[in-house]
Amino acid sequence: MSTSFKDKIVSILRRKKHKDAGRVVEKKHDLTLVTHAHKRMIPSLRQFLSIGTILKGKEKLVFFFALAVFVVSSIWGSSVLSSQYRVEVPSVGGSYTEGVIGSAQSINPLFAMLNDVDQDITQIVYSGLMRYDTQRRLVPDLAVKYDVSEDKRTYTFELKKDVVWHDGQPFTADDVVYTFEMIQDEQVGSPLSVTFQGVVIERVDEYTVRFTLEEPFPSFVSSLTRGILPGHIWNEIPVDQMRLAKRNLQPIGTGPYMFERLVKDENGFIHRIELKRFQDFYRVSPFIKSFAFEFFNEYEGPQGVVTALREQKIDGIHFVPFEYRAKVERKHVTLHTLQLPQYTALFFNQDKGLMEDKNTRLALTHALDKERVVRDILENEGKVIHGPILDGFPGFNTDIEKREFLVEEANALLDESWDRISADDYRTLLRDERVNQIIEESAPVENIPEGDNEEEVPEEVETDVENEISETETPTSTLDVDQVKTDVDQELDNVLDEAQLFYRYPEDGEQDDILELTLVTAATPEYTKVAEIIAGYWQDVGIKVNIRFVDPKDMTREVLKTRDYDVLLYGVIIGSDPDQYPFWHSDQTTYPGLNLSYYVNRSADELLEKIRETDDEQELITLYTDLQNTLLEDVPAAFLYTPTYTYVLTEDIKGFAVDRISHPSDRFSNITEWYIGTKKIWKLN
């Protein structure tokens, strides 16, 4: 190749290289220009949406396929990460309103046991030294721990040091000592006083208290679940005014919820009490921000609690009797059936002459068909019982002597002391007596002016008196006796039950002095129906029954205090402690004791006292068995059934985890775990 040709080739290649380099430089300049113009390397949304016009053919297909894969992978990956490393937990917020039949009277732990509504509220406003958890185990609450002396008479409690009252003041041993001294004070009149008779309470130091008992009492710790009062507040209130103090309706406690306000209607009736979450609660503060109790007088009707639930004005009902369960069942409502150690019985008041006779009490028991009561009235939402010792407690025995439904036996027992008179003869007897009484009352009365002197009454005065008598008195001769009998028959229709076929009167006694008793119970739907069917059974054996229904909120004042009844239909809650001292010991026959039968038996007293002194399981079984046999022999009551407790919550309320309670207020034992809203958080491990 010649030199000149070679030089030409080299020249051409150099020119081409410079041209390509120029193009690269030009391209770099273009990118620099675009970057300076937009200040970003990532395309804007507008630019991104214009990709379809820039890319062509396969480029566009590949791009959008890759984009779809990226989006799906991102969503799937996020979901996997969230499910594995994020959890849903309760969040603070929301409000809960519970409908309650009845009203608050004294939100004070010293008096609350006399009213279920008061116990409900004190359960979440106050705290005790001990508490029951959701498994019904007794655990420390305001206490850190406690020690028991070797002789089992001294209990020393170490208290928590991080507890404050709702007003911000610190909780100390002084509050504990004050509370139990008030319980023991006769002027206060707390029904809890019996449990703490003879107990010495001492302040050891600011956060230690000591209880010294006269005798060992293994169940003593279970009595310390009652709420503690703030001494710095109640010290300012005279002891004799404690029961009537305004503070009883504006409580300050250490519980998870604190009082906010009460709402009254124009008549002064409290129809709502509102509480709010206590953020400084010494355990975990509750999630639900506000908690209210709405009070109602009835279940049914436009203003009833069932209607309020169906209209979603409330979020729960404290208790639903069996006859209303179908009416509250809805998709958004959950019915919780709880086990409750309670029995319903007929307590025979032996302080009344009629109930002193054992045969009469036994006859009343044999005249009852308990199975039918549970089947027809409770719709099998209960269990027939024959004694006071319930399943799960020491001494329970399924083979105890049962008082069967035997009408013939009931009549035979009554025939020993009472003769019979047919319903027709008794009605005729009453009608004749009443008609004769009316005739006698309608007879003319000789009305002559009285005086000690023998002066003659002027003739004109005698004439005036005779005229006055003739105008005001109806002579017997003009009285319509047939009409009187008709009127009397109408009166008797109102007082005599045509279903009763015969009556009873004492042997060798007057026929109009019939066997008659008064049955008293609370005016609730359940007890109303049970009382009516019981009255029917007793009428079938010749007993005239007068039923008196008392408003539940007045039961303490009108019935328990006065013991004004022959027979009381009532429900007794045993609680977690099987001790039945308050119900059967002779020193509990008067209020505030709960010996509702006025039962006095020294052998039973000794058994009850021994029960309180032993913690030997086998000995307890023996003692409770002997106690039950003694009670069944003496027949101070007719034991009917143990009911189930149905609690209603809407599905919005989550976290409720209670299935066994000792008292209705125990449904709040895990109240701090209830919640309405939720949130998601990342797992830490």
Q: How far apart are CA 440 and CA 458, in angstroms?
A: 30
592-615 core/surface letters (b: 16 or more CB in 10 A; e: else): bbbbbbbbbbeebbebbeebbebe
User: What are the E-state strand segments in 328-482?
Assistant: 333-338, 342-348, 382-384, 418-422
CATH 3.40.50.1950 given to domain 94-125+255-338+659-685: no
**CATH for 342-423+497-643?**
3.10.105.10
Query: Which range has the worst mean pLDDT, 464-468, 591-595, 630-634?
Result: 464-468
Look at residue 385 and tell me whether its pLDDT is greater than 90. Answer: yes
pLDDT score, position 457: 47
Q: What is the pLDDT of residues 452-510, one digit of tens each?
A: 444 454 554 444 444 444 444 444 456 777 788 788 888 888 888 888 999 999 988 89
| Percentage of residues in the chain having pLDDT higher than 90 | 53
pLDDT score, position 20: 56
Average pLDDT over residues 76-83: 71
Query: Which range has the worst mean pLDDT, 565-574, 613-622, 667-676?
Result: 613-622
pLDDT score, position 445: 57
Q: What is the DSSP letter of 246?
A: G
Q: Where are the domains of the chain?
A: 22-87, 94-125+255-338+659-685, 127-243, 342-423+497-643
Q: How far apart are CA 122 and CA 109, in angstroms?
A: 6
Domain 127-243 belongs to what topology?
Dipeptide-binding Protein; domain 1 (3.90.76)
Average pLDDT over residues 632-643: 94
Look at residue 1 and tell me whether its pLDDT is greater than 90. Answer: no
Look at residue 3 and tell me whether its pLDDT is greater than 60. Answer: no
Q: How confident is the model at residue 323 (pLDDT cuts 50, 70, 90)?
A: confident
Cross-strand pairs, 581: none
The closest alpha carbon to 127, from 233, 341, 282, 248, belongs to: 282
pLDDT score, position 28: 56
Mean pLDDT over each residue of the chain, to the nearest integer:
86
Q: Are strands 290-296 and 502-506 parallel, antiparallel or unpaired?
A: unpaired
pLDDT score, position 26: 53
Q: How far apart are CA 222 and CA 226, in angstroms?
A: 9
**Number of helices (H), then strands (E), in the chain:** 20, 23
> Could you give the angle at the alpha carbon of 83 between the alpha carbons of 82 and 89, nearest 5°?
85
Q: How far apart are CA 282 and CA 123, in angstroms?
A: 15
Decide: 104 and 299 in contact? Cβ < 8 Å: no
Average pLDDT over residues 583-593: 90
More confident residue, 50 or 532: 532
More confident residue, 665 or 84: 665
Q: What is the DSSP letter of 636?
A: S
More confident residue, 494 or 230: 230
The closest alpha carbon to 646, from 424, 403, 328, 410, belongs to: 328
pLDDT score, position 467: 47
Average pLDDT over residues 395-419: 93
pLDDT score, position 184: 94
